[in-house]
Amino acid sequence: MRYFIGNWKMFGVPKSINILKKINSFYSKDIKRSNYRIIITPPYTLIGNYSNYFKKKKILIGSQNCYHKDLFSSNTGAISPFMLKKSGATYTLIGHSDNRGEGDTDTLLKDKVKFSLRNNLKIVFCIGESKKQKKNKQTQTVLKKQLFKVLEKKFNSNNIIVAYEPIWSIGTGELPTTEELNKTIKFIKKILKGIFRKKIPPVLYGGSVDGNSVKLYRDIKEIDGFLIGGASKSSKKFIDIIRNYYR
Ligand code: 13P
């Protein structure tokens, strides 16, 4: 199974659902659709509305983040995994570098993972090194730490996806070479094997993925899909990625 996940970040109003309708219409007709899954993470404001519309359709709606507490609490502005699940979200991203940069520590991330899984919300756990860390050859050390600090054997790996997003590649057009990426994804899978033993989660790549860059990576068998930012805000660009992936 391959995954194409579109992360809208701070983008979208109710009528942006038209973008998803076009993607869904392509997906419903694609003869290769049993090979892959499409998940879109709009902002919180649209999750209920979009999930309701796509309930019986093919594409899945997820969240970009969640609060690190379960059920209800007195934290102003916070949204729990329970509330997201009840609003129709199937997945939530956790640990995106945007949120790590704004104070999401490993301890908070672990709680987010725990409470999401407890509420049957599947997770897409994001990891990635900074430009400086890459320059200092710390990529593997950083990724290993990010994985070990949060993921545990007791978590059900069927409900987990890992997304490798090098921070220096997000929104920059700068891409890892195929050799670099191949090596890093293999490394991540080795670490995941250490944690989960038999059934390891799929590992995606994210960072400046578009219809062109996907061609560089489509032959790397170890990559189980892509986490797409900018190009997921256009139905044409998003569909191009899938078309070019399958040729
Ligand atoms: P871009 O595809 O815009 O580089 O963003 C990647 C990303 O951060 C997705 O979560």
Question: Residue 238, class by beta-carbon neighbours within 10 Å (0-12 exposed, 13-18 middle, 19+ buried)?
Answer: buried
If one residue of 5, 170, 175, 238 were mutated to test the ligand 1 pocket, choosing by the most ligand atoms within 8 A of its CB, it would be: 170
pTM above 0.95, yes or no: yes
Give me ligand 1 centre to Cα 112, in Å: 21
Question: What integer pLDDT is reported at residue 135 of this predicted model?
Answer: 98
Ligand 1 binding pocket mutation candidate from 131, 209, 217 (most atoms within 8 A of CB): 209
C-alpha 78: how far from chain center: 21
Q: What is the domain range of residue 201? A: 2-246
Q: Tell whether ligand 1 has an atom less than 6 A from the beta carbon of residue 230.
A: yes
pLDDT at 105 over 90: yes
Mean residue pLDDT of the chain comes to 97
Confidence of residue 66 (pLDDT cuts 50, 70, 90): very high
pLDDT at 241: 98
Whole-number Å distance between alpha carbons of 142 and 165? 12
pLDDT given at position 56:
83
Whole-number Å distance, alpha carbon 49 to ligand 1 midpoint, is 24
Check pLDDT > 90 for residue 198. no
Q: How confident is the model at residue 57 (pLDDT cuts 50, 70, 90)?
A: confident
Report the atom number in ligand 1 closest to the C-alpha of 209.
2
The domain that holds 197 is classified in CATH as 3.20.20.70
Using a 6 Å cutoff on CB, does residue 166 contact ligand 1? no
Query: What residue has token string 């700068």?
Result: 174
Distance in angstroms (rounded) separating the CA atoms of residues 211 and 222? 19
* Total domains, the chain: 1
Asked whether the predicted pLDDT for residue 127 surpasses 90, the reply is yes
Q: Examine the pLDDT at 211 and tell me if it is beyond 90.
A: yes
DSSP state of 103: T
Shortest-distance atom of ligand 1 to CA 96: 10
